[in-house]
Chain A
Amino acid sequence: MIEVKSLCKSYGAIKAVDDLSFTVEAGQVLGFLGPNGAGKSTTMKMLTGFLVPTSGTAMIDGIDAVENSVVARKKIGYLPEGAPSYGEMTVRQFLTFVARARLIEKGEVRTSVDRVLEKLNLVEVKHQVIETLSKGYKRRVGLAQAIIHDPQILILDEPTDGLDPNQKREVRHLIRDMAKDKIIIISTHILEEVQALCNRVMIIAHGKLLADDSPQGLISRSRYHNAVSLVVESAEKVASALSELPEVARAELSEGELILFPAGQADLFAAVTRAINDNGWQVSALRLEAGRLDEVFHKITRGGAST
């Protein structure tokens, strides 16, 4: 379990992290979401003991990440932003170094290294020097060193940044596989990633926590939540006709699509289908909207800023 209480980090007058408090339990995959410079990485650096907070505490399984940093670090696997590694070493040498530093027993070092090489599909490049590898491989080497000691807590700073779509998929798959009964914290500014991976999202901007919810919960805050969009012939006429329905609060036309917003808890979709059937409109697409995360994100991070 991770317990963070009123964590602050200032650089001079700039507050990078401002009074952050939260608790993460086992089994949670928590996504830090926020614009660049929001304080996501700074928070992670304090959790992993790399940075000392200006004030506040972070407890890792009941161990203070500052007072007892070295003990707390043992419980964590960490992928720093950009997946830094010692470029002049081969993949195998590097992972062996990390395994030893992670206090894996002498007899186990080899098997641990082999295990993560296998798990991250690095076997064919294990004797290659890291700096000659592609970005995708380097990222996987970074992930391999983070999980080599099978930590209970995994903190990954932008794990899929700079990867191609296939590699992103692979990494997400891997993270989801490990998620059971671990704590995983990832930071990202890719919204789809949060939906695909996390069961909890914290939106952070200007160092402040602006929202803490499940992805579904966040999406339901969207004004598009339960809206119905359709593509129809003579859309304007249809729009004015549908606006008359008691279930429709408002109708909007955008980019050839007609979007209907629900009034209250009414079953808009059923009402709209009924109206379509009754009037015989030529509908080529009809969709119930779940909500749009990018819109919620924009609303929260812009609305929450003081400027």
Chain B
Amino acid sequence: MNAVNNVMRRELSGYFATPVAYVFLIIFLVMTGIFTFYLGNFYERGYADLDPFFRFHPWLYLFLVPAISMRLWAEERRLGTIELLFTLPLTTTQAVLGKFLAAWVFIGLALVLTLPMWLTVNYLGDPDNGVILAAYIGSWLMAGGFLAIGSCMSAMTRNQVVAFILSVVVCFLFLLSGLPMVMNLFNGWAPQVILDGIASLSFLKHFADISKGVIDLRDLVYFVLMIGFWLLATVLILDLKKAD
């Protein structure tokens, strides 16, 4: 646990030592604001809830999370520090977990910084704060899923741009897997079991469930498994090809 903590702290301090952290935080906050007030019609709707705020999170994450995750491993490969890291007495799993947690905590921080949104809605009306809390948790879990995918894509290459594009594509597939435009590809020829399987992989569906305020065990398990699976894949890829 100490090793994980040490790697995590190093990674986090790395974000703040470069403009990465500040640029990300500012863009995230500005974008959530724009989406909520302009596209989400926050005022005009006349409801005291944060639905217009959370509704756009999956689409924001689609581009912003890969921007964070792309450097996780590609950068280590490019600079050669991967050789330093993996000759320290820590396991690949500990390093993968440490770096993932750093990025996840960082996105958690970005979410915490949106609290003025919550204050606003509480000032304007009387929202169900339980639902809002659940949506925050759901949003953070979903970010974890995106990040785990991004970590795996970043482990595959030494080029950050490649890592970014791969992550966006894979995340996009997981976002959309429940929507008709994807399902239509399979409709008619694939058996129902597979259709259900594909539909149940959708980030959107599970996030929508949680953000309604019901934290269902199935949705939690889904995100935990998702994160676990992609982190495991990261470990395997790194163990298979550490050099080059």
Contacts and interface: CB of A to CB of B under 8 A. Distances in A.
A16 B222 CA distance: 44
A219 B89 CA distance: 39
Nearest to A73: B89
A85 B10 CA distance: 12
B80 A80 contact: yes
Interface stretch (B12-20, B27-35, B36-44): B12-20
Interface in A125-180: 129, 145
Interface SS of chain B? helix
Given A51-B243, A97-B6, A73 B88 contact: yes
Interface string A42-83: 000100111100000000000000000011011010101110
Contacts of A89: 10, 13-14, 17
A100 B84 contact: no
B87 interface: yes
A87 interface: yes
B79 interface: yes
Contact of B87 (A50, A82, A103): A50
A230 interface: no
A22 interface: no
Interface in B86-137: 86-91
Nearest to A71: B89
Contact of A80 (B13, B17, B83, B89): B83
Contacts of B87: 48-50, 73, 76, 78, 80
Given A70-B90, A70-B91, A50 B83 contact: yes
Given A51-B243, A70-B90, A73-B88, A97 B81 contact: no
A233 interface: no
Contacts of A76: 87
B18 A88 contact: yes
B79 A145 contact: no
Nearest to A157: B83
B240 to A, nearest CB: 9
Interface in B206-236: none
A46 B133 CA distance: 50
B2 interface: yes
B89 A98 contact: no
Contacts of A145: 84
Interface in A95-139: 97-98, 100-103, 129
A93 interface: yes
Interface string B57-99: 0000000000000000000000111011011111100000000
A85 B88 CA distance: 13
Interface in A225-282: none
Contacts of B17: 88-89, 129
Contacts of B91: 70
Contacts of A70: 89-91
B195 interface: no
B90 A97 contact: no
Nearest to B240: A52
A267 B144 CA distance: 79
A206 to B, nearest CB: 19
A217 interface: no
Contacts of B88: 73, 98, 101-102
B89 A50 contact: no
Contacts of B9: 97
The winner among B6, B88, B91 for most chain A CB atoms within 10 A is B88
Contacts of A48: 87
B243 A101 contact: no
A100 B9 CA distance: 11
A84 interface: yes
Nearest to A87: B79
A50 B86 contact: yes
B3 interface: yes
A74 B17 CA distance: 29
Contacts of B2: 100, 103
Nearest to A84: B80
A306 B6 CA distance: 49
A100 to B, nearest CB: 5
21 contacts: A49-B86, A49-B87, A50-B83, A50-B87, A50-B242, A50-B243, A70-B89, A70-B90, A73-B87, A80-B80, A84-B79, A84-B81, A84-B83, A86-B79, A97-B9, A98-B88, A100-B6, A101-B89, A102-B89, A103-B89, A129-B17
Given A70-B89, A97-B10, 8 more contacts: A51-B242, A84-B83, A87-B79, A88-B14, A101-B6, A101-B89, A102-B89, A145-B84
